[in-house]
Amino acid sequence: MEAPGPDAAASFDPLRPDLTRVAYRMLGSVADAEDVVQEAFLRWLDADRAAVREPGAFLRRVVTRLCLDQLKSARRRRETYVGSWLPEPVVEESEVEDVTLPLLMALERLSPLERAAFLLHDVFGVDFEEVAATLERDPAACRQLASRARAHVRAARPRFPVPPERGLELAAAFFEASRSGDLGRLRSLLSADVTVHADGGGRVSAVLEPVVGLEAVTRLFASLAPVYAGSMSRLVRWGFVNGLPGFVTLEQGDTLQTTALQVEEGRIVAVYVTRNPDKLRHLERREPA
């Protein structure tokens, strides 16, 4: 008789990337998503796999339910989080994210069930019958959950998506202007209502509240100019951080950092900086130190 392990892995491994995408978009954490998917694999080992007609649907249901359990404790942790909370950054060479960083942040304001219904139906294309089976609600209730979620996150979806090449050009211009102290050039790149969000998690220095407005953001970078002059950022690479143009750098003290730029109508409307080392460990495995 064939051992169950290899058979289970052969059917599970092709589904792992999609399951990880579901878990990450639910949780906003790469590490937590990987843990959830591994737990789903352990449950797959114990399942009566011969009786499962659609492994993908079965495992998506398992992952979603595990994520719903995880979100309860995650919400409690975030109530005591130091400073602004940003999702763990995923950095890609091309613009492949279907859920951008602002949308991930908007999802945080939804209830876990609203979040699940919206992601499963609107992002992953799951029909409401399967959503209902997953959430153990009737299809009409799941339609309502998704509709409410849609209304809440509508503003977080880009109205005028920037072409990838133009986005990287703006990222390069922002990097040069912010690090060289060229405040005039920097102001020309920013919108009047630009906002800076920085996540240090209480582990490294970062502004604790969002900095809002062109004048306040300009003052922030003016205060950082001596820091950059004394210890210039080392560019690791350009890329798309959760679907937004940006870059990865090593800052003073070899602190790894990601910067993502939200662009609307040719101007930067938001800057998202992640510095919390707990959220960058998965990048440390890939980026040069």
Calculate the CA dihedral of residues 204, 156, 21, 255 and round it to 10 degrees.
-20
Q: What does the DSSP 8-state code read for residue 273?
A: E
Q: Which two tokens stand for residue 110?
A: 């939804």
What is the reported pLDDT for 1? 36
| Strands of 23-165, DSSP E | 91-92
pTM of the predicted protein model: 0.88
Listed residue (36, 135, 93) closest to 238, CA to CA: 93
Tell me, what's the pLDDT at 219? 96
Q: Which amino acid is at 72?
A: K
Question: What domains does the chain contain, in order, with CATH numbers?
Answer: 1-80 (1.10.1740), 101-157 (1.10.10.10), 164-284 (3.10.450.50)
CA dist., res. 275 & res. 123, Å (int): 28
The tens-digit pLDDT sequence of the chain (289 residues) is 344 456 888 999 999 999 999 999 999 999 999 999 999 999 999 999 989 999 999 999 999 999 999 887 776 677 778 888 999 999 998 876 677 899 899 998 899 999 999 999 999 999 999 999 999 999 999 999 999 999 988 877 766 678 899 999 999 999 999 999 999 999 999 999 999 999 999 899 899 999 999 999 999 999 999 989 888 899 999 999 999 999 999 998 889 999 999 999 899 999 999 999 999 998 876 655 4
Q: What is the pLDDT of residue 72?
A: 79
**For residue 189, how many other CB atoms are within 10 A of its CB?**
18
Q: What residues have CB less than 8 Å from 39, skipping those under 6 apart? A: 66
Look at residue 3 in the predicted model and tell me its pLDDT: 46
